[in-house]
Amino acid sequence: MFDLSGKTALVTGASGGIGGAIARTLKACGAKLALSGTRAEALQALADELGGAEILPCKLDVAEEVEALVPAAVDKLGQLDILVNNAGITRDGLAMRMKDEDWAAVLRVDLEAAFRLSRAALRPMMKARHGRIISISSVVGSIGNPGQANYAAAKAGLEGMTRSLAAEVASRGVTVNCVAPGFIASAMTDALTDDQKAKMFERIPAGRFGEGSDVAAAVLWLASAEGAYVTGQSIHVNGGMYMG
């Protein structure tokens, strides 16, 4: 079950916590990996941890260099079976004070880059009549969040784009889905006070933050043969924070 032997995957945003967890999980199940991220040292450390020859680290900014990423992955790994659109940024601020450049930056990385990568990945996937595109959305794409109009709009757009792409390519053996995390444990949540954490836990029926591995498990299912009949879906991983 969940055997990815012989499959190749490109994971963006791999130098972050969730991206790293996804990469480790896919590699543990046999996938060859191309990893992209903006933090060169963290990306190389992950590549070294996961082991050399079947790992391609690509230090780049998906907002600026996205067109080169899929061809590089195919050239190194020979094919592309799985694309995980995980790269994302935030530029938080109340809407009345939000600068145009902060709106545009988030939409460019969190939505436009995911579209351009998906478009590029569809070419080899449709030719092979097999593929998995999995984009990391967010619970705020469904419920919104004050101070994150740009981020919420990008993530909601990502889910709409996912459903449209899924309808276009399902007949060619390609599935397109989202995984939408809630509050996931990170360096940011570690810095919160106990009182701040308690207030956040009040919004989460499970009473705790999720882990990167929780998100990675959902990605693995969608990437595997066991997830072949699931497409156009947003899988929420949020401890019950949103039940759509």
**CATH number of the CATH domain containing 218:** 3.40.50.720
Asked if residue 1 is part of any domain, the answer here is no
On whether 151 is known to bind a ligand per the annotation, the reply is: yes
Asked if residue 244 is part of any domain, the answer here is no
Predicted confidence band of residue 62 (pLDDT cuts 50, 70, 90) = low
Asked if residue 142 is part of any domain, the answer here is yes
Domain that residue 132 falls in: 8-234
Mind listing the pLDDT tens digit for each residue in 112-126? Answer: 999 999 999 999 999
Q: Which of 32, 47, 151, 239 is catalytic?
A: 151
Asked if residue 197 is part of any domain, the answer here is yes
Residue 151 a catalytic site member: yes
Higher pLDDT, 238 or 196: 238
On whether 154 is known to bind a ligand per the annotation, the reply is: yes
Number of domains present in the structure of the chain:
1
Q: Is the pLDDT of residue 55 over 80?
A: no
Which residue is it, tokens 């992955």?
73
Token couple for 38: 């903006």
Higher pLDDT, 153 or 60: 153
Asked if residue 241 is part of any domain, the answer here is no
Asked if residue 2 is part of any domain, the answer here is no
Q: What percent of the chain has pLDDT over 90?
A: 75
On whether 7 is known to bind a ligand per the annotation, the reply is: no
pLDDT at 77: 87
Residue type, 94: L
Mind listing the pLDDT tens digit for each residue in 14-38? Answer: 988 999 999 999 999 999 999 988 8
On whether 82 is known to bind a ligand per the annotation, the reply is: no
Mean pLDDT across the chain: 92
* SS3 of the chain: helix, strand, coil, percent, to 5: 55, 15, 30
User: pTM for the complete prediction?
Assistant: 0.94
Question: How far apart, in whole angstroms, are the C-alpha atoms of residue 15 and residue 216?
Answer: 14
